[in-house]
Each structure stands twice: as C-alpha cells, then as structure tokens.
Amino acid sequence: MVDKNPTYSIVVEMENAQFIDWDEMSIGLTALAREIAAVSSAGFAKPKVVISHAGQNAEGPSLRSRIETEAPQLKQVAELSFTACPGGRYYELKNNGISATDGKLVVFMDSDTVPEPGWLATLLGPFQDPEIVCVNGYTYLLCDDFFSKTFALIWFFPLAQGDQRFAEKRAINANNVAFRRDWISSHPFPDHNGFKVSCTLLLHQLRGEGHELVSVNARVHHYCPRGWRFFGWRALVSGRDADRKFVELHSPDRVQRVVKSFTRWGTMSWRTIRRVIRLAPQTGMPIWQIPFSLAVGLAFYTLAFFGHFSLAAGLVRDEIEIVPDYVGHS
C-alpha cells in the first residue's frame, strides 16, 4: 500500500551558536514553519525539527529560547529537538542529527538557506513511489551585487532561473535533500578530510546500489559567501577537494592526479568564460561589469588549480579542512 503522507523529520545544520547570523536564521526558520504548516494542512503529521549544532549540550536551552523568539511559528507547527556535536564539521552535524529523527523520511536543510513556497511539498511528493530513496532539491545563490552575481555565475549551484541543464548535473545538495530514514541511517555522509566531498561520495554509494537521484524543483536560496578572504580560501579548498574526489572515485596515482589538475583548470576556466558571457544578463549584471566578472572567475579557478596541484603533487599534506578563524562568517 502506498503511504501518501509518510511521517518525516527535518535536520537543520547549525554552526556554533556564537557565530550565527540571526537575521538570516530567522528568515529561513520562519519560511520553514510556513512550509511545514502547508504540508500539515494537506494531511502530513506534525514533524520533528532537529537542530544539530556544534556547541555544547548546555547551549541547548538558550538556543531554543532564541529560536522561539526569532521564529515563534516554528514551535507551533513542529516538535523542536536540539542535539549537540561539539566542534562538529558540516557533515558531522548532519549525521549527528539523523539519530535524533523519528520520521520515515529525513529532510536536510541548512541554517543559511531559505525555502520558497511549495518547497517541502515538492520535496516530499516523489516518496509516494516506494522505490524512491533520495530526492534532491534546487538550491541557488541569492545575488544582489557584483561580487554575489559573479559567485552565482561561477559557483557549483545553478542560477535561480534558466539553468536547469546545469542543475541536473548537480550532486546531492546536502542543504536541500530528503532520504528514506532507513537508508540514510545505514549510509550516513562519509567521514572525509575534504570540505565538501561527502555529498559526491554519498551519491556514488546511492547509485552503486542501483538507486537514482530524483531531482525536483523544490527551491531554496542560499546566502552568498561574502568577503575576499573566503574567496581565496574557498578557491584553494575547492581545488584540494577536486583532487580528493579524483582519488576516491578514479585513481590515487600521483601522475594521473597532477594531469587532472591541469585538465580541470582548463575545463573550469572555459566553463567560467561560457557561463559569465552567456548568463550574466540573467543576473542583472551590467555589460560593463562582465569583463571584471570574468577576471574574478578565472582568478578563482586559477587559485583552485594551485590548491589542486599542490595536493596532487604532494606539496601539501591531506589534512582535515576546517574554516579558519580569519575567514569569519560565510
């Protein structure tokens, strides 16, 4: 028998409470409450929302109080639960939240994403098919100035509009995805030194077991990374992560890895040129800014090349990627 309205829980990953941008957080959680109310009116049971944070257990009560103040609607439509993973990294926080869920489905959302109307219903809909294990949503960057528009053009998220083909190539969006709980409980996000590698590895596991990633137009927007410090650090990390993915999915051979760093540099540079020239008008970017956007995009992937090459060639050690203090909130 098909379960048209399966029970579900939502895991919200959150940084240590002292680093939260509450203006952003309140908007996202208020939108989440709206989405829960919408699907509850359609027959879904009241869900549990698990806040998985990187602070200490003692921070739970104060965190609950702040969230109930910033987004009072949320406690009315969902049961709130708080679970600590002191010092936890991004995927560790997500895995930490899984054990606190109790629904048949587990939805993942980040504290810095904002759901659009219809997001939750669209994400849950495909699970009426009992064969579906994972449903991936559509995440895009919010852009309102030169820097954020450039990031939106060169980043790994698709643009808000007119970029469906690129969106279909995306791996799992850990900030906008849902799984059957029995599957994700036995296949947590893989532990890895990389910053954003586990999504790709989990997708590889999913497909290796014969499951397909179902992509739907369940839309959330993500606040754009800010600051040149983040720009430089993230570029280097994206290069190192590219090497890590190559090692995991293709070959650990150092010569092949070095060759890959050069070919990826060329591929990403050409992709940047194509996307900026073709899609810049969709972001509202003035024509005169396009050459500067190209320069920034090519600089990003040149830095990424240096990060990729240095790890592939053994010039740096493969260490756990942690956002450094000098980067700040991003």
Residue 58 predicted with pLDDT over 70: yes
CATH code at 8-222? 3.90.550.10
> What confidence score (pLDDT) does residue 18 get?
53
Distance CA 13, CA 25 (A): 11
pLDDT tens profile 210-234: 999 999 999 999 888 777 888 999 9
The pLDDT-based confidence of 21 (bands split at 50, 70, 90) is confident
Is pLDDT at 329 greater than 60 in this prediction? no
Q: What mean pLDDT comes out for the span 230-242?
A: 95
Structural contact between residues 252 and 170, judged by C-beta atoms closer than 8 angstroms: no
Which amino acid does the sequence have at 178? A
Residue 147 has pLDDT above 60, yes or no: yes
Closest by alpha carbon to 59, among 19, 93, 100, 18? Answer: 18
Structural contact between residues 242 and 264, judged by C-beta atoms closer than 8 angstroms = yes
Which tens digits make up the pLDDT trace of 288-301? 999 999 999 999 99
Is the C-alpha dihedral spanning 280, 118, 166, 245 positive or negative? positive
All CATH 3.90.550.10 domain ranges in the chain, comma separated: 8-222
The C-alpha atoms of residue 97 and residue 118 are separated, in whole angstroms, by: 24
pTM of the entire predicted model: 0.94
What pLDDT was estimated at residue 290?
97
